[in-house]
Amino acid sequence: MDIQLEKKKGLKAKHYGYIGLGVVLLLVGYQLLFASSVSTFRTDREKLSLGTVTEGKFDDYITISGNVAPIATIYMDAYEGGRVSEKLIEEGATVKKGDIILKLENMNLYEQILASESNLALKQNDLRSTKLTFDSRQVEGRRSLATASTDLQRLKRNYEQNKALYDEELISKEEYLLSKENYELSQKQYEIVKLQTEQDDELRKTSLTGLDADLARMQKTLGMVYQRLDHLNVRAPADGQLGFLDAEIGQSISQGQRIGQINVLTDFKIEAQIDEHYIDRVKRELTAVLERNGTEYPLRLRKVYPEVRNGRFKVDLVFTDEKPETIRAGQSYNIRLQLGESSDAMLLPKGSFFQSTGGQWVFVVGADGSEAHKRNIRIGKQNSRYYEVLEGLQPGEKVITSNYDSFGEAEKIVLK
């Protein structure tokens, strides 16, 4: 009996063809779907700025704007308060150190001077009276000491004579003892007078020294008051130009109030503001160049101010060699500040796209010039003309360098 065998099921050769065709159709459909989902922005080519990526030397500098200022400014504050009685020099005038600019008057200070003078006169009278008293006591003490010394010598001689006579039994014992007692009393009185005279001399010395010291202090105080009186004459603290003067005749000036400034014109400096983006790279002693009428004048960065205001910080630069002959305070100049050495790099012209992307991506124009596609890049240093391109671009490629804000979230730009 014949057994009928069941045919095995499986893929045949023609089935593989169908599967391959299906995969191809699926990929094409996915690509078409993806392409249709890419955000596109259409614009006229003439409205855009394009830049070409090139290879060349990257000069690591920035261009900053600075204003000429005096090398130093000395402020004038009132040492003493008072009312302006006379104005001798006007703003903008050249002054010498010590020139009187203003005269003030202060009635309270005048009264203090009179009181100090009166106190000094009283102290001087007290000192003279004390000296006269001590001199009188000194004379009287010396007179008493001389009298006591003479009495002592006389009584000593009498005692010695009576002692000899008593030893020979020529006088009575009572007479002898009386002369002895008188002599011993005279000795004690002499010592007392001598001690008192020495104490009076010591007291005179210490008292007069103290009075002399008090008098010297009062004279010094009066001298300081006279110096305060001289401070009512506001003088120029240095040679230079009177920059401003905030005082008018009849105006009351308080002690310590700022009333003016002197601009020292022996040299000049350049004051400039720099974007905070460069704050980590701007250091003292960097070099710079100021160009005027085809001549370059070298500068040195002397001071970096640490405070940042409105996204900018301040620096001072000084000339290291010659400076423009007609330089004046207040003039504005563009300065090229060198941040580092020149190096070979890919260069992308600067543009306002940077404000939109932060330099993280750009739109690169295709070879046919009809479309531009978004591409991530990496930018290094920058100067006033170029960005240094580190990654993402090749020499010869064209990049849209104008502002991207109007493009929205577009991934592709169609150029008409």
Residues 328, 285, single domain; the answer is: yes
Residues 334, 348, single domain; the answer is: no
- pLDDT digits over 342-377, tens only? 888 999 998 989 988 988 999 999 988 889 999 999
Residues 205, 283, single domain; the answer is: no
Nearest to 287 by CA among 341, 343, 337, 342: 337
Alpha-helix residue ranges (DSSP H) falling in 168-271: 173-230
The number of folded domains in the chain is 3
Q: What is the CATH number of the domain that holds 396?
A: 2.40.420.20
Tell me the average pLDDT across 402-415. 89
- What pLDDT is attached to residue 8? 47
**Is residue 90 within 8 Å of 245, Cβ to Cβ?**
yes
Q: Please check whether residue 219 lies inside any domain of the structure.
A: yes
User: Identity (one letter) of the amino acid at 394?
Assistant: Q
On the question of pLDDT at 14 being above 70, the answer is: no
Which has the minimum average pLDDT: 21-35, 159-173, 322-336?
21-35
Q: Please check whether residue 53 lies inside any domain of the structure.
A: yes
Tell me the average pLDDT across 371-395. 90
Residues 117, 183, single domain; the answer is: yes
Residues 357, 272, single domain; the answer is: no
- Which class for 13: exposed (0-12), middle (13-18), buried (19 or more C-beta within 10 A)? exposed
Residue 1's pLDDT band (boundaries 50, 70, 90)? very low
Backbone angles phi, psi at 181, to 5 degrees: -65, -40
**Is residue 52 within 8 Å of 318, Cβ to Cβ?**
no
Residues 52, 120, single domain; the answer is: no
- Cα(267)–Cα(290) distance, rounded to whole angstroms? 16
- Cα(228)–Cα(113) distance, rounded to whole angstroms? 10
**Domain region containing 169:** 108-228
- Cα(179)–Cα(158) distance, rounded to whole angstroms? 7
- pLDDT digits over 307-345, tens only? 999 999 999 999 998 888 888 888 899 999 988 888 889
Residues 114, 178, single domain; the answer is: yes
Which has the minimum average pLDDT: 6-20, 35-49, 184-198, 377-391?
6-20
Which has the minimum average pLDDT: 86-95, 199-208, 380-389?
199-208
Residue finishing a domain among 180, 212, 228: 228
Q: Please check whether residue 99 lies inside any domain of the structure.
A: no
Q: Please check whether residue 183 lies inside any domain of the structure.
A: yes
Q: What is the CATH number of the domain that holds 271?
A: 2.40.30.170
- What pLDDT is attached to residue 115? 83
Cα dihedral 97, 98, 104, 109 sign? positive
Residues 123, 177, single domain; the answer is: yes
Residues 45, 129, single domain; the answer is: no
Residues 47, 145, single domain; the answer is: no
Give percent of the chain with pLDDT exceeding 90.
27
Tell me the average pLDDT across 58-68. 88
- With left for phi above 0 and alpha for psi between -120 and 50, is residue 228 left, alpha or beta? alpha
Q: Please check whether residue 34 lies inside any domain of the structure.
A: no
Residues 6+ apart with CB under 8 A from 311: 275, 276
Residues 6+ apart with CB under 8 A from 18: none
